[in-house]
Structure 1
């Protein structure tokens, strides 16, 4: 597997990151009334959508840096299109992207399956909490609130980040639009190039 990006991969990463950034903006707007109803901790179940760019792009392109670049780019789009989170949307995107990237780096960028995608979502949640502690201080949380928030966001990252990313990409794969990217090239090398869900 080549680790050098080609222009087609760059273009796809940009398109997907922009699309995710627009979704992030809409999700941020929806967060306001939901947070008012169930509180910020309860609204943590929404977290996973905000990190979905990382596993989607990394799963398709399979290059070092893909998860981080996608998340930061999507967060930048969210910020620039008017997120009420302002600059913090971009800053938290950096920490989330670093967490997501770590999941793929752990395996030397050789393992791209649903479990790695779910780990990516979980570690993005850890990155998000690291940013929150840096920005707000540990005094912002009671111990119970800290662990509850982290737990909810990790579960959401696993399900709405990693697992949902797998479902979205498999749907795209069935259309044939991903045939020239590393994800499908890898399947063809293994004799599983039919676009159906597989473990890699």
Structure 2
């Protein structure tokens, strides 16, 4: 599937914006995890995967979620993330997880459930990276389960759901009229008009 220049430009712009957001969120994570502990701070996780559902929801092409997440993670790394290279590596795992959600539906469904599923799968991908990087002995069983559950909920709400809300608000401004998200809405509107006329 060919990418248009405008889609590539939008992907880059949104990935850079999300990467800067990720850096700020990483900085905020330090004091919060100090207060509530690393597991308690997992409620923040979902913001770190928001690039995937936002870009995939707008562009609606295979690879969009993965590329957006990796690009945003690269921006976070290059702008000075205290997580270092792991910011990029976990971004790859999260991007793959998010991409799987859209692939399951053959890149044809972009409703709120699929977007939330992409956030949940990104959380699973992130935890897989943690296990690969730190080893299975890093977590007790209870901590592992708690981390996974909190991350998945956060990924669904702060990644998928919030991503959808942001894009829907942006779409109301007309800024996304030239992208797949609006073109598919137009097709639905045309079909609804046809049904009404019948």
Q: TM-score range by the shorter chain?
A: over 0.9
Q: Greater CA radius of gyration, 1 or 2?
A: 2
* TM-score of the two chains, using structure 1 as the length reference: 0.94
Gapped runs of 5+ residues in structure 2? 191-198
Question: Distance between the aligned counterparts of 2:28 and 2:96, measured in 1?
Answer: 25
Question: Distance between the aligned counterparts of 2:108 and 2:165, measured in 1?
Answer: 20
Deviations 1:152-187 (A, max 9, x none): 000000000000001000110010000000000000
Instruction: Trace 1:23-42 onto structure 2 (pairs within 5 A).
Output: 23-42=21-40
* TM-score of the two chains, using structure 2 as the length reference: 0.95
Residue 128 of structure 1, CA deviation: 0.3
Question: Distance between the aligned counterparts of 2:104 and 2:44, measured in 1?
Answer: 26
Runs of 4+ in 1 over 4 A off after TM superposition: none
Instruction: Trace 1:155-194 onto structure 2 (pairs within 5 A).
Output: 155-191=153-189
Question: Distance between the aligned counterparts of 1:27 and 1:190, measured in 2?
Answer: 37
1:20 aligns with 2:47: no
Gapped runs of 5+ residues in structure 1? 193-200
- Taking only aligned residues, the RMSD between alpha carbons, in angstroms, comes to 1.0
Match of 2:120 among 119, 122, 129: 122
SS at match of 1:164: helix
Question: Distance between the aligned counterparts of 2:31 and 2:50, measured in 1?
Answer: 22
Q: What is the match of residue 83 of structure 1?
A: 81
Instruction: Trace 1:1-80 onto structure 2 (pairs within 5 A).
Output: 3-80=1-78
1:103 aligns with 2:112: no
